[in-house]
Amino acid sequence: MGNAIDGLISGLDTTTLINNLMTVEARPQTILKASVATSQKLITALQGLNSQVAALATLATTASKPAATDLYAATSSSTSVTTTVSAGAGAGQIDVVVGALAKTQVGVSAAMTEWATTPAVLTVLVNGVSTEISLTSSSLEDVVTAVNAAGAGVTATRVASGLNASGDAQYRLQFTATGSGLAGGFSIYQGTKAEVAANTAPDLLAQTGAAITTAAKDASITLWAGTLASQTITSSTNTFANLLQGVAITVSAESTTPVTIKVTRDDAAISSLASGLVSSLNGIFALVSTQTVVTNSTNASGAAVMSPGVFTGDSGVRDVSQKLLNAASAPINGHSPSEYGISITKTGTMEFDPAKFATALAADPTTVKAAVQEIATRVAAAAVAVSDKYTGALTNQITGQQSSVKDMSTRISAWDISLATRRSTLQATYTALEVSLAALKAQSTWLTAQVAAIPTTTTSAG
């Protein structure tokens, strides 16, 4: 406690006295600190609310697009044909017969112990494109490395193939196309591009002991099989893109009977979209409600204590809830959203009735999908106005609170300096008091000693 001298002369508890005085002196700073803590709690709550509203804005913006409700699902009558639906799909049906599956070409060389030193060049021909690969050694491992690094559309693997007549280990080189179907088919020649063009380079896979173990082949399906309109379609992979608009199929087995592909409107996905929008809104309303409620409790003395929520009395937050609620519940072309299963409850939240929505969607899909888009559009506009990172109402409120906290923190720091100075002054004052009292006591002791030292005289009667 600095240079304070606790009650050496006066008997005063100087430290406690100074601390009590400083508590009184620091009361304005204590109030500021409490205000900072309250503001920081509010900022945290506002940031959480703003994040949820921003997420709602993103969800609603997506849901407001026509494609968001233009949803379709595809089914197949066979597990060997699977479907994938993308944007732009529409209702439809078609039968397919799977004639063949795509195959990736694989070939193996004749058995060898090492690569012939000459010619030390390979030329790979894939779909009309030739790639020349220079070999740096006769090591089969180096040959594999060179082929795999060339990016020629073929990969190589060394495979053990027993011993030759001399007892030396032999290997075959297996070459595999990187692309399936006829487009990935390849030839490998021992020689340069010029030698290949001149037909003087031997075909590596046509040599004695070599073979193409799997020939490249396209997948094929037949539409309208057995009719005059019968048509065969091929694909280098087992996937046929946009067989129907926005619908791709992938085949995994050949078939002799037609497989039916059927595309219908995906009412479940549209319902899920509307339900998700309502759930996101209710999540925001629940957050505001939880942070607004006043809780009752008792203190250590048993007295009743009412603790307001962080949003209690906050008109800005209340305005956010109201704007979102209005956007979601306002009529659409004279019709209440409740006609489509989207309604407002007595407690000020939204409710989604899946059965009512499904019935309305089945009866008039165009109107119901348009209603969902309109609600989403209005909610998105309201949410963006609230949460925009530059101009949003909540964003501005957060910024204002942060500025206020910064100002109060500056004032608190100034108080720290002022209080430190005040404590030093009090310590110096009480120290000086003890020193003065000590000096007075010493003087009193001296005077007492002087008086005691004066001789006493006695007068006798004559």
- Give per-residue pLDDT as tens, 254-284: 999 999 999 999 999 999 999 999 999 999 9
What's the rounded Cα separation, in Å, for the pair 462 and 460? 6
pLDDT digits 0-9 by tens, 148-199: 999 999 999 999 999 988 899 999 999 999 999 999 999 999 999 999 999 9
Ranges 43-57, 114-128, 290-304, most confident: 43-57
Check residue 339 and give left, alpha or beta (phi > 0: left; psi -120 to 50: alpha).
alpha
What's the rounded Cα separation, in Å, for the pair 141 and 113? 11
Check residue 14 and give left, alpha or beta (phi > 0: left; psi -120 to 50: alpha).
alpha
What's the rounded Cα separation, in Å, for the pair 387 and 115? 68
What's the rounded Cα separation, in Å, for the pair 175 and 107? 5
What's the rounded Cα separation, in Å, for the pair 39 and 187? 74
- Burial track 262-293 (b if 16+ CB lie within 10 A, e otherwise): bbebbbeebbebbbebbebbbebbebbbebbe
pTM of the shown model: 0.67
Domain boundaries defined on the chain: 1-71+266-296+304-436, 72-101+219-265, 106-214
Check residue 34 and give left, alpha or beta (phi > 0: left; psi -120 to 50: alpha).
alpha
pLDDT digits 0-9 by tens, 80-129: 999 999 888 889 999 999 999 999 999 999 999 988 766 689 999 999 99
Contacts of 230 (CB under 8 A, 6+ apart): 222, 223, 224
